[in-house]
Structures are given as structure tokens and as C-alpha cells.
Amino acid sequence: MRPAPLLTLLIAVLLPQLAAGQSLRGAVESNSALYFDDPALGPAINKWGSNNYLKLDWQRDSLSAGLQAEWYPQALAGYPSELKGAGLTGLYIDWTHGLLHLHAGSFYEQLGSGLLLRSWEDRDLGLNNCIDGGWASVRTGGRELEFKLLGGFPKYGLWPTGASALAGADLSLDVLRALGVQSLHSFKLEGSFTDRMTLQGDSDIDFLAGSAGFSVPGHLMGWSARAQYAREGFSLKAEYVGKGADFYAEQLPGAKESYRLKGGNAQLIEASAAVGPFSGTVTFRRLENMAEQIFLTISSPSIANTLNYLPSLCMQQTYLLAGLNPYVTYADGEAGVQGDLFWNFRRGTALGGRYGMKLHVGGSWIEALPCALPDRSESHLAYRDINIDLEKRWSRSFKTIAFVSIQENSPTHGNRKATNAQNVFVLDGQYRISSELAARLELQYLYSQELSRDWMAALVEFTFSPHWSFTLSDMYNHGSTGVHYYNVGASYTLDAFSVSLLAGRNREGMICSGGVCRWQPAFTGGVLRIQWSF
């Protein structure tokens, strides 16, 4: 037999054998929109937009590799402008051998709660600040001690900017395990360190710093110390984060700015507990000059230019009107507390009835720090809210949720005393017509004497398990503009394939995901979303 056919035969026999024991996963997502001129909103900024993603992951035993590609022929309205064209936005290889774990290529990382460092992807926001580089971690056999070193170039848009590089280290110690104590308690001590190295400075920033008599440091150091205690039904976490001196634009009275070097710090305390039918959580957080960018600039307001995670310390609203004017974290300086209490009335109890009932009461209170405001003498309320929702099942087929949200938001982040208040009331009912067919109705009302005053909204949804759902909604600002924001949608799902179409008019405002927000311009049009994972 000639060598070539022999080789072919060998490959034909061996390749499937080599392939056995491997797994290949992937996902395709495409979000495309058509925008139309609308007399109520004005001409459309663009006629269309499309965001597309492909992800592939291969794994064999302890070795894995993958890639992600993104394509923005023209990004959807409201997405960061740097998302343009096509790019291989992720490429990695990952290997675990015993207690050692190595990763080369793109990676996502979060140190502690993310106040010090977080790289993550959120397609609703158009944010993907993954780091192109690598990390190595090593741990002890019982996970008593874990240590990680990381480094690379943060990505901005489709590619690393080359303007900065990042290095970091993380150490985690499970104290009780390390002492050999067999206990239901858990006590961990952790610490992290980061260094953002500026490779290419911004000429505007350098000029402003030079005018003020200082130069911008080439290294921005950050560190955090964390402690975490947990036992059955209770947990307590504390975190302190420090940030080295960085270029800081200081707000002065009369909308003026001065420039100086300033460090930052943050403190976070979280506790949660569960006793009988009750469970609750409370979080305190204080931030001072904690915004950390991939590269310093005074010209790019893009949310993608971020290296840490500063989510708003309040409940993420899910009803249309309750999320109309969300609070956005004031990274220059704020302190706040948020709490949630859940009461689960079990089935068969006096209040729970035959099918049980759930009550949630939550709220937050956030004040701006005087040091971050032009008027240093005092600070005012930045945001507060209280949210109550009561979920009651009346029969096997009928369930209701009553929801109230009272919100007060300062448009100046606490710089002035004036605030905007709004009260939102929602009634949400779901009725199961058969084991496969269900209908849902939401009725909402927003009462306010500020901004665009009163709103009302309604949503009707029909679902046919397991494939189809249809929605129809309208949000009407009858207190000021008289504009209807109507939408009609349909979606079809087959296992891991899903396609949905939503068409209508959408208002401008902040779109939030995970407590981080971006600006969404108003538009009228249709959005087609296709997802498939395999």
C-alpha cells in the first residue's frame, strides 16, 4: 500500500478514537433590529443594527480550549460606539493537573466582590472587558489554601487597547480547614493585589495633570482584604479595598473642576441569616473615588472602559414602571445600606393557606459623601426606596403578586436637596388554563409629581408550553407627554434553540443589568433575537 492511502486509513481509524471522550460545546446568538422614523420620537438615528456572537468550547479530560467571535456590522442603538466590525474576542487554552491550574489566553476574573477587579461579559450592556493574558493557580489538596497569579491586557471593544496592562494576585485561606477542624462553620480570610500599568498615556490627561503641577503615576496599585464567616443559616462577609493615587477630577462649586492625585477606598459588609420561615440579608457599602478605568481618558464615557464592579446598591427592578428611573452608583463617593427580608408562609399554616404565601420587604438608603460634592459642608440623600411584594397562590391554577415600590432619587447625586419621588403599584396575576396553556396580566401605575409625572402600563402574556409565548404591552405617560410605548412580541423555543421577535416603541432611558447601566435612546422598530447552544 502506498504511504498516502495508509496515512488516510490511519487517520480514519485513529481520529474517531482520539475524538472519543471529548466534548464540544458552542453557542450562537444574533440580535438584530430595524428602526423606523416615528412622529412621536423623531427620525431614527440608524435604520438597523446587529450584534452577533459565536462561542466554541472544547474539552478533553483536564484540557480545554475555546474561542469567541463577535460581529457588529453596525451595533444596536445605544451600544458602545467601539463595537464595530468583527473580531476574535476570546481565545484560550486551559489545563488542570492535580493541584495546579494554568490558563493562557482570554479570561474573566473577579477578585472578592469585584470592587477591586472584575472582568466580565454582559451582552445587554455591550460590555466585555475580558483580559488577554493568562493566570496560574495552585491549591492544597483540601482547598485550605489557594493562590492565583494573573496578568494581561484588558479588552476594550473588540481588542485590547494596548494602553494598559494588568497584573494581580489573590490568596485565599480556609482557616478552619487549615487547622484541621471538622466543623459546620466556615471561616475564610482572603487578600488580593492588582497593578494597572499605563503603557500609553492620554495626552489630554497628561496636559491637565502637568498644568496642575503633578504627573500621572504609571502604576495604579489596588489591594483588598476580606473575611468571611458562615454556618448553617448565617453568613457574614467584610471587605476593605484600597486604591492608590490616581488622576482625579475634583468637582468645585459653579460646575468647575480642579485636578489632583487622589486615592480611593471602599468598605463592604454583608450579612444574611435564615430562621424558620424568615430569611434576610443586609449590606452596607461605602465608596470613595473607586471608579477604575482600563485607560485614563476625559473623552470616553463608555461603560466598557471599566476594570471593577460598582453596582448600584438597590434592588434591580423587573416591572416596567418600577425600573423607569433607576439609580446609578456615584463612584466618586457614596455610602448606603440595603436590606431584604423574605417571609415564607408555608402551606397549611393559618396565613399560608392551602398553597402558601410569600412576602418580601426590601429597601435601600444611599447618601452622597460630602468629600465628593462641590459643596463640602453637607451631603444629601442620593437615593432611597422601599419595595414590598406579596405573592399568593389561590388555587392550583391561579396566582397573584401585589407589588409596591416607593422610590426617591436625587438627580444631582445628593449635591442638592431636591429629589424626584415616584410610587409604583403593580398587580400581577397568572392563570393556568390547562397544563400547557397559561395567561398572565400585569397592571401597573406610577404616581409622581416630578419628571414626566404619572404613567400607567399593562401587559398580557399567553404561553403554550413548551414552545410558544406571546406578549402585548403598553406603557402610557398620561401625566406629561401623552405618548404610548407599545410592544408586541412572540417567541419560539425548541430545546436549546430560541427565536423571539419584539416590535414596538421604546422610550429612552437607562438600561441596567446587574446594577450597571447604559443609556438607551428611544426607538421604534423590531428586534429579532436568535439563540442556539449545542
Partner 1 sequence: MKRLVTLVLLCCLAALAVRGQDIPSVGLVDASGRKVATSSLIDHKTPFVISMWMTSCKPCLKELEAVMDEAADWDGDFPLRVYAVSVDDSRSLQRAVAMSKAWEGVTPLFDPNGDLRRALNVSAVPQVFVYDKDGNLYHTHIGYRPGDELQLLATLRKCAGK
Subset of residues 469 to 498 that bind partner 1, contact rule: CB under 8 A: 469, 491, 493, 495-498
Measured CA to CA, the distance from residue 158 to residue 486 in angstroms comes to: 34
The footprint of partner 1 on residues 20-39 (CB under 8 A) is 20-27, 29
Interface with partner 1: number of residues (CB under 8 A): 86
Look at residues 179, 125, 184, 490 and name the one whose alpha carbon lies nearest to residue 309.
Answer: 125
Identity of the residue numbered 59: Q
Question: Please, what is the minimum distance in Å from the beta carbon of residue 505 to partner 1?
Answer: 23
Question: Please, what is the minimum distance in Å from the beta carbon of residue 250 to partner 1?
Answer: 28
Question: Please, what is the minimum distance in Å from the beta carbon of residue 293 to partner 1?
Answer: 20
Question: Please, what is the minimum distance in Å from the beta carbon of residue 268 to partner 1?
Answer: 9
Span interacting with partner 1, options 197-205, 277-285, 298-306, 475-483, rule CB under 8 A: 277-285
Nearer to partner 1, 198 or 531 (CB): 531
Strands of 37-130, DSSP E: 48-60, 63-74, 85-97, 100-107, 109-111, 117-119, 121-122, 127-128
Question: Please, what is the minimum distance in Å from the beta carbon of residue 446 to partner 1?
Answer: 19
Q: What is the DSSP letter of 38?
A: B
The footprint of partner 1 on residues 55-114 (CB under 8 A) is 55, 57, 59, 62, 64, 96, 108-110, 112-114
Look at residues 489, 512, 502, 454 and name the one whose alpha carbon lies nearest to residue 315.
Answer: 512
Span interacting with partner 1, options 35-43, 259-267, 269-277, 404-412, rule CB under 8 A: 269-277
The footprint of partner 1 on residues 206-245 (CB under 8 A) is 228, 230-233, 235, 237
Q: If binding is defined by CB under 8 A, does position 198 make contact with partner 1?
A: no
Q: What is the DSSP string of 113-165?
A: TTTSEEE-EETTTTEE--EEEEEEEEE-TTSSEEEEEEEEEEEETTEE-SSEE
Q: If binding is defined by CB under 8 A, does position 515 make contact with partner 1?
A: yes
Q: Which helix (H) or strand (E) holds 495?
A: none
Among 36, 193, 240, 342, binds partner 1 (CB under 8 A): 342
Among 344, 409, 415, 473, binds partner 1 (CB under 8 A): 344
Q: If binding is defined by CB under 8 A, does position 15 make contact with partner 1?
A: yes
Among 438, 457, 459, 475, binds partner 1 (CB under 8 A): 438
Question: Please, what is the minimum distance in Å from the beta carbon of residue 513 to partner 1?
Answer: 9
Measured CA to CA, the distance from residue 286 to residue 331 in angstroms comes to: 10
Nearer to partner 1, 54 or 421 (CB): 54
Nearer to partner 1, 370 or 515 (CB): 515
Find out whether 496 and 472 touch, Cβ atoms under 8 Å.
no
Q: If binding is defined by CB under 8 A, does position 509 make contact with partner 1?
A: no
Look at residues 348, 343, 345, 349 and name the one whose alpha carbon lies nearest to residue 357.
Answer: 345
Question: Please, what is the minimum distance in Å from the beta carbon of residue 261 to partner 1?
Answer: 29
Nearer to partner 1, 75 or 373 (CB): 75
Strand partners of residue 228: 188, 237
Look at residues 89, 88, 84 and name the one whose alpha carbon lies nearest to residue 50.
Answer: 84
Residues for the chain: how many in total?
Answer: 534
The footprint of partner 1 on residues 448-467 (CB under 8 A) is 463-467
Question: Please, what is the minimum distance in Å from the beta carbon of residue 370 to partner 1?
Answer: 25
Find out whether 330 and 411 touch, Cβ atoms under 8 Å.
no
Question: Please, what is the minimum distance in Å from the beta carbon of residue 32 to partner 1?
Answer: 15
Q: If binding is defined by CB under 8 A, does position 354 make contact with partner 1?
A: no
Strand partners of residue 238: 227, 269
What's the gap between Cα 382 and its chain centre? 21
The footprint of partner 1 on residues 119-138 (CB under 8 A) is 120-121, 123
Kindly report the number of other CB atoms within 10 A of residue 347's CB atom: 12
Q: Which helix (H) or strand (E) holds 346?
A: none
What is the end-to-end Cα distance of the chain in Å, rounded?
A: 40
Measured CA to CA, the distance from residue 253 to residue 373 in angstroms comes to: 9
Please calculate the CA angle 12-13-19 and round it to the nearest 5 degrees. Answer: 90
Q: If binding is defined by CB under 8 A, does position 427 make contact with partner 1?
A: no
Nearer to partner 1, 134 or 505 (CB): 134
| Residue given cell 418580601 in the structure block | 360
The footprint of partner 1 on residues 287-326 (CB under 8 A) is 309, 311, 313, 316, 318
Question: Please, what is the minimum distance in Å from the beta carbon of residue 192 to partner 1?
Answer: 13
**Which residues, other chains included, contact 86 with Cβ-Cβ below 8 Å and sequence gap of 6+?**
69, 70, 71, 72, 158
Question: Please, what is the minimum distance in Å from the beta carbon of residue 493 to partner 1?
Answer: 5
**Which residues, other chains included, contact 342 with Cβ-Cβ below 8 Å and sequence gap of 6+?**
278, 279, 280, 358, 359, 360
Q: If binding is defined by CB under 8 A, does position 349 make contact with partner 1?
A: no
3-state secondary structure of 244: strand
The mark string for 152-191 relative to partner 1 (x by CB under 8 A, - otherwise) is: ----------------------x-----------x-x---
The footprint of partner 1 on residues 380-409 (CB under 8 A) is none
